[in-house]
A = this chain, B = another copy of it.
Amino acid sequence: MEMSHRSKVYLGIFESTKEKIKAALSVPDTHEVLFLQGGASLQFSMIPMNLIPELGKGKADYAVTGNFSTIAMKEAKKYCDVHIAATSEDKNHSYIPKQSDLQLSPDASYFYYCANNTVYGTEWQYVPETGTVPICCDMSSDILSKPVDVSKYGIIFAGAQKNMAPAGLTVVIIRKDLAGHEMPCTPLMMNYQTMIEKDSMYNTPPCWNIYMLGLVLDWLEKQGGVKGMEQIKSKKAAILYDYLDESKLFKACAEKGSRSDMNVTFCTGDEEKDAAFCKGATEHGFLNVKGHRKVGGMRASIYNAMPAEGVEKLVAYMKEFEVNNRV
């Protein structure tokens, strides 16, 4: 922890972690992996500042499917003309728009979406087809849970704190030719080109978080990599969704075909019962099961680190609760 980030020992840790990310996600040579700070929220500004050619001039397409894509879209308005390519706001973000629903601008500098919506429990099941318009995707909450065809993306970014490492690290995978066109007012720390040239070491990076990411990637490899993790997470989510679909008390909030395998949102339809369930959940050792206030009900976040047994135990408690609260 006190090691210089320029020391040989640490540079070994840094480079091997980068290689592990590249291997885990099969990152092609056209793309660069960056280790940055500031979370996904800093990327909300960094993307338009680097991809829109001039402050206030240029256009970007946004798909608004939840809380974080809404924030990202609003932030982009500071820098360019924002076009809403699709929104699921009409049904409280309980679904992901279909490809045929996307109203794409051929002259957009990029198309933006958030792969997994933690608050609403929805997840994109497909990669949008946008022609030559580069895709920027916030994968903070489902990265490393399944294979990704990186070549289809202009920029993939993720705050580390869900599936990668303790909070304080942001992983960015950027198609190299997209960098180097930033607005003059772009802060030096938010210049992708500078970060590519300096191998993410323009200044001291969050060394320990990167080290931790390396350990998590070693663990991921033992689970069979992202392919193995895809099977594990699908199985885990199915335990919950299968029960929710047969339950007479609980129902899933997200529509079939749009459901997240990372955040399962559900409710009883009765606020008092929801509250009783959450109270009991805490007593059973299930923490933070209460849903976000924008959705209500409950939410089970079952990121990579959650074992299948945790999900099985939750379902066992749900069944017990259902028996005791017959409709």
**A residues apposed to B, CB below 8 Å:** 1-2, 4-5, 7, 37-42, 44-46, 49, 55, 71, 75, 78-79, 159, 161, 166-169, 183-185, 187-190, 202-209, 212, 287-288, 305
In Å, the complex CA distance between A189 and B188 comes to 14
Q: A75-B187, A167-B208 are in contact. Are A203 and B41 (CB under 8 A)?
A: yes
Chain B residue nearest in CB terms to A208? B166
**Pairwise interchain contact B167-A204, C-beta atoms closer than 8 A:** yes
Chain B residue nearest in CB terms to A187? B45
Smallest beta-carbon distance A46→chain B, Å: 7
Smallest beta-carbon distance A209→chain B, Å: 6
Contact of A185 among B79, B205, B208 (CB under 8 A): B79
**Pairwise interchain contact A187-B190, C-beta atoms closer than 8 A:** yes
Given A1-B166, A167-B204, 15 further pairs, Cβ under 8 A: A4-B287, A4-B288, A38-B189, A39-B189, A39-B204, A41-B188, A44-B189, A45-B187, A75-B187, A166-B208, A167-B205, A167-B206, A167-B207, A168-B205, A168-B208
**Pairwise interchain contact A45-B166, C-beta atoms closer than 8 A:** no
Residues of B within 8 A of A75 (CB): 187-188
Contact of A168 among B42, B183, B209, B288 (CB under 8 A): B209
Residues of B within 8 A of A190 (CB): 45, 187
Contact of A204 among B161, B187, B287 (CB under 8 A): B161
Q: Show 22 A/B contacts (Cβ-Cβ < 8 Å), sorted by A.
A: A1-B166, A2-B166, A37-B39, A39-B189, A39-B203, A39-B204, A41-B188, A41-B189, A44-B188, A45-B187, A45-B188, A49-B187, A78-B184, A159-B203, A161-B204, A166-B208, A167-B206, A168-B207, A168-B208, A168-B209, A187-B190, A208-B208
Copies in the complex: 2
Contact of A37 among B7, B37, B55, B161 (CB under 8 A): B37
Residues of B within 8 A of A1 (CB): 166, 212
Smallest beta-carbon distance A162→chain B, Å: 10
Residues of B within 8 A of A287 (CB): 4, 7
In Å, the complex CA distance between A46 and B202 comes to 16
Residues of B within 8 A of A49 (CB): 187
Residues of B within 8 A of A161 (CB): 204
Residues of B within 8 A of A4 (CB): 287-288
**Pairwise interchain contact B42-A288, C-beta atoms closer than 8 A:** no
Q: A188-B75, A288-B4 are in contact. Are A38 and B39 (CB under 8 A)?
A: no
**Pairwise interchain contact B288-A7, C-beta atoms closer than 8 A:** yes
Chain B residue nearest in CB terms to A6? B288
Chain B residue nearest in CB terms to A44? B188
**Pairwise interchain contact A42-B189, C-beta atoms closer than 8 A:** yes
